[in-house]
Amino acid sequence: MTPLVSVVVVLLLSLVVVAAVRLIARWQKPPHPPIDLEGLGERPGVIVFTSTDCTTCSEAMRVVDEAGSSVREVTWELEPQLFDRYHVEAVPLIAVLDDAGRSVFFGTGVPGNARFRSAIRKAGIQ
């Protein structure tokens, strides 16, 4: 193999590795920092932060609605001051709180049905 071909092969492999790392990083969202939701919503209850331009918020709300839990939806376009107050950085952000206000589920994205239902049972909602 000539030196030029070796250099081209190394460059191509490097590009493939960089592309793979970027794809993996895109799929793995960092966890949202914990927030104190004191004074927001009912206890026990579900709080969902959403936005009208969020592509996964409607799917997250579907999971919450199908579980039959009461929910306090906080939408960026209607209540941006609450996003600032609670330092919300990503949507959909879902919190399931027990009657003492402790978080039994907290995360961004669309939760799995089984995991979400387990959280609302643990919180005493169902």
Structure token digits, residue 39: 């004074």
Domain ranges of the chain: 1-30, 45-122
Query: In the CATH hierarchy, which fold is given to the domain comprising 45-122?
Result: Glutaredoxin (3.40.30)
pLDDT at residue 43 is higher than 90: no
pLDDT digit string (tens) for 68-121? 878 999 999 999 999 999 889 899 999 999 888 888 899 899 999 899 999 999
Per the CB < 8 A criterion, the answer to whether 84 and 76 are in contact is no
Structure token digits, residue 98: 């027990």
pTM exceeds 0.75: no
pLDDT at residue 77, as a whole number: 96
Per the CB < 8 A criterion, the answer to whether 49 and 79 are in contact is no
- Distance between CA atoms of 113 and 102, rounded to whole angstroms? 21
